[in-house]
Amino acid sequence: MSKLEDIVSLCKRRGFIFPGSDIYGGMAGTWDFGPLGVMLKKNLMDSWWHFFVEKRDNIYGVDAAIIMNPRTWEASGHTATFADPLVECKECKSRFRADKITDNISESVTTEEFLTTHTKCPTCGKENWGPIRKFNMMFMTHVGAVLPDDDAETTSKNVAYLRPETAQGIFTNYKNIVDTIYPDLPFGIAQQGKAFRNEISPRDFILRDRECSQMEIEYFVKPDAWEENFEKLRALQHDFLTNIAGLKPENLHEYEVPEKDRAHYSKRTVDFMFDYPNGEEELMGLAYRTDFDLQNIARESGKSMEYRDKRTNEVFVPHVIEPSIGVERLFLAVLSTAYAEDEVGGEKRTVLKLPYHLAPYKFCVSPLLKNKPELVAKAREVYDLLRDKYTFVTWDDSGNIGKRYRKQDEIGTPKCIVIDFDTLEDDTVTIRDRDTAAQIRTKISEL
């Protein structure tokens, strides 16, 4: 298994991910995606959307606003329950999420339970803790003009939150979808977008950050059909993670979340865990949310969330199953799986063995020598041809051909195409494979 520090180094060196606001000293829990990171991230999101939405005729997309009416979070329970266990060291005043600095305790840990673990402060090494306090992770903001001399009542009316999940934007649009599309059950509503969580102690690179992208589906089913649909979605998630994202089955594990650790809305949750370089962490979740969200919306809004079955005329509030995944966690899982170090011709190399459809560039085109105009001109012809056909093609004429191969291996480019003097004679090029380093000659017309 690759080391996290090697992946972090590669990401910065090759333009996948940079620390957020790095030029000003950075900001904990924020990351900026560079040119290659943007392409890989987009490929992952497009692959998910194609697999779960475009290939199915009963999944519909929405793109809801990030800032929503604050009543959304009151109805969903986030205002009251969306909290992590915060603990402060009395010696150095450092603050941590209690369940992340010691083993075998949950998010619902009490002060007494935590103290019995005899955990030492990661900062100063002392064991002198204050009580566990619940810390709400939602980012608060103000909508409209708030002046310094406004009174508390005026200010509170302007309070809003950056959404901590994309799910509620789906639930608040459930009635809109039913009234405009009137789909048959079961059906799903999908969304990709940003979510914000004020993590107490962001850590482990992009695994636990304050701004992330989520991909979620709320799948609406008849109340008595949730179990069979749960299992179907469970199988689809395995299919996507292994066959589309390219993860190894042996690195994926299912965890049946016990009742005391489940989210307040869930009656059953299965977490898909992945063996990251720093250990096993949650990658994807599958939650049975019952009719919790729709009933809360009905109560808060005063509007019916009932669905009328077209065939039976039966009226009921659908139950919901939610497949949810964080893009950054998937991004890191894919990099961890693809990252390898091996030898080619007795020389060590780093290579990203990304699935072809996920690789930022599909081909790299190079003239054997950049100081030979005839080779450069021919290489440009081949480059333009492939760009028109495949779009994601890069050009490289820096250094010798061996260094170009190593660079393209490191960023995951599956094929390198080299134009040499034989090309000028017979219109054939050398194609070099990333994973095997094998080379073949082929006609330009067959590319």
Domains (range + CATH), the chain = 4-81+165-335 (3.30.930.10), 361-446 (3.40.50.800)
What pLDDT is attached to residue 63? 96
Indicate whether 74 pLDDT > 80.
Answer: yes
Least confident of 125-139, 183-197, 352-366: 125-139
CA distance 358 to 331: 10
Are 231 and 39 within 8 A, CB to CB?
no
Greatest mean pLDDT range, 80-84, 100-104, 206-210, 272-276: 272-276
Indicate whether 83 pLDDT > 80.
Answer: no
Predicted confidence (pLDDT) per residue in 95-147, tens digit? 888 888 888 787 778 898 899 999 999 889 999 999 888 877 788 888 887 66
State the residue for tokens 């009234």: 179
CA distance 430 to 437: 12
Residue 197, both tokens: 């969580």
State the residue for tokens 């009963």: 58
Are 165 and 195 within 8 A, CB to CB?
yes
pTM (whole model) above 0.85: yes
Indicate whether 3 pLDDT > 80.
Answer: yes
DSSP secondary structure code for residue 171 in this structure: H
The closest of 259, 193, 246 to 61, measured between CA atoms, is 193
Predicted confidence (pLDDT) per residue in 288-332, tens digit? 999 999 999 999 999 999 999 988 999 999 999 999 999 999 999
Predicted confidence (pLDDT) per residue in 148-174, tens digit? 666 666 566 788 889 989 999 999 999
CA distance 371 to 175: 64
Would you list the DSSP string of 210-224? Answer: SEEEEEEEEEEE-GG
Task: Count how many residues are written for the chain.
Answer: 447
Q: Please state, in angstroms and as integers, the Cα–Cα distance from residue 148 to each residue in 85, 143, 162, 293, 412, following that order.
A: 32, 14, 22, 37, 52
Would you list the DSSP string of 316-363? Answer: EPPEEEEEEEEHHHHHHHHHHHHEEEEEETTEEEEEE---TTT-S-SE
CA distance 279 to 273: 10
| Residues β-bridged to residue 344 | 347
What pLDDT is attached to residue 86? 86
Are 219 and 311 within 8 A, CB to CB?
no
Residue 248, both tokens: 């190894």
CA distance 377 to 76: 61
